[in-house]
């Protein structure tokens, strides 16, 4: 009996901000990940903060409505030294989540170190390392739009959860999940090679 064909999922990643919101969409069919679209939604800095949020929300709603993703992956909240910055980012993040929620798109949140671990192999990877690995994984020859690499990293993290857990000897039940427990270990070069990633020395 032949194996059933892999289900193709369309996953949207978001990197929200109060001036720009990076987004990236990929299809995941088994272990095959393919770039669909990437870019950023922006609002003029001269706009009142509330108006900027409204414009970014409107832009994200349009993208969600156009593609109808099967899931939205977004970075979980993390601590900022500046409370004002943290508050503004939280508000921008809420606007981004609302855009997906209004379209009934399931939302999955991942801690920053979990996303870095899934894409670059360790949870303390630099931004440039993450961007490089995103391009390698998705076989992107051109530069990505600003903020898009982080959004695509979140999407890749979500797409690879089952594969990564299989490599680690665990498994997910398919529910929405956050990694605040810190139980994820860093992947070894052997783990990455088994997943088909190119291991790059730092």
pLDDT tens digits in sequence order for the chain, 202 residues long: 445 556 889 999 999 998 999 999 999 998 899 999 999 999 999 999 999 999 999 999 999 999 999 999 999 876 567 788 888 888 999 999 999 999 999 999 999 999 999 998 888 888 889 999 999 999 998 888 878 999 999 999 999 875 555 455 544 433 344 333 333 334 455 555 554 444 454 4
Among the listed residues 3, 15, 70, 126, the single catalytic one is 15
- Catalytic residue list contains 191: no
The answer to whether 140 touches 134, Cβ cutoff 8 Å, is: yes
Q: How high is the pLDDT of residue 179?
A: 38
In a domain, 1, yes or no: no
The answer to whether 112 touches 72, Cβ cutoff 8 Å, is: no
Q: How high is the pLDDT of residue 30?
A: 82
In a domain, 39, yes or no: yes
Domain with 153 in it: 8-194
**CATH assignment of the domain containing 104:** 3.30.420.10
In a domain, 60, yes or no: yes
Distance between CA 92 and CA 18 in Å, rounded? 5
The answer to whether 73 touches 10, Cβ cutoff 8 Å, is: no
Among the listed residues 3, 75, 109, 126, the single catalytic one is 75
- Write the CB contacts of 201 (distance below 8 Å, at least 6 apart in sequence): none
In a domain, 134, yes or no: yes
The answer to whether 186 touches 117, Cβ cutoff 8 Å, is: yes
Q: Which two tokens stand for residue 36?
A: 């669909």
Looking at the structure of the chain, the number of domains it has is: 1
Element (H, E) at 84: helix 83-101
In a domain, 3, yes or no: no
Say what the pTM is: 0.78
Q: How high is the pLDDT of residue 13?
A: 97
- Catalytic residue list contains 201: no
- Catalytic residue list contains 3: no
Q: How high is the pLDDT of residue 10?
A: 96
Distance between CA 30 and CA 25 in Å, rounded? 16
CA atoms within 13 A on the CB side of 132: 12
In a domain, 52, yes or no: yes
Q: How high is the pLDDT of residue 164?
A: 54
In a domain, 19, yes or no: yes
Among the listed residues 126, 147, 191, 201, the single catalytic one is 147
Strands across the sheet with 8-15, in order?
Answer: 32-42, 20-29, 8-15, 71-75, 107-110
Q: How high is the pLDDT of residue 80?
A: 63
In a domain, 162, yes or no: yes
Q: How many CB atoms lie within 10 A of CB 200?
A: 13
Q: How high is the pLDDT of residue 143?
A: 84
């Amino acid at each position: 009996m032949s194996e059933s064909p892999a289900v193709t999922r369309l996953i949207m990643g978001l990197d929200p901000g109060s001036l720009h919101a990076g987004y990236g969409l990929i299809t995941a069919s088994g272990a095959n990940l393919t770039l669909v679209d990437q870019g950023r939604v922006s609002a003029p800095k001269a706009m009142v903060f509330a108006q900027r949020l409204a414009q970014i929300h409107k832009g994200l709603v349009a993208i969600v409505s156009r593609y109808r993703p099967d899931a939205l992956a977004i970075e979980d909240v993390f601590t900022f030294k500046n409370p004002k910055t943290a508050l503004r980012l939280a508000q921008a993040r809420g606007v981004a989540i609302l855009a997906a929620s209004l379209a009934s798109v399931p939302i999955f949140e991942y801690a920053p170190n979990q996303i870095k671990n899934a894409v670059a192999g360790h949870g303390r990877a630099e931004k440039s390392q993450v961007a490089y690995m995103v391009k390698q994984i998705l076989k992107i020859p051109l530069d990505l739009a600003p903020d898009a690499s982080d959004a695509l990293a979140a999407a890749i993290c979500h797409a690879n959860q089952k594969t990564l857990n299989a490599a680690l000897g665990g498994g997910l039940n398919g529910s929405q999940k956050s990694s605040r427990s810190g139980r994820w270990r860093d992947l070894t070069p052997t783990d990455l090679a088994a997943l088909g990633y190119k291991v790059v020395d730092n």
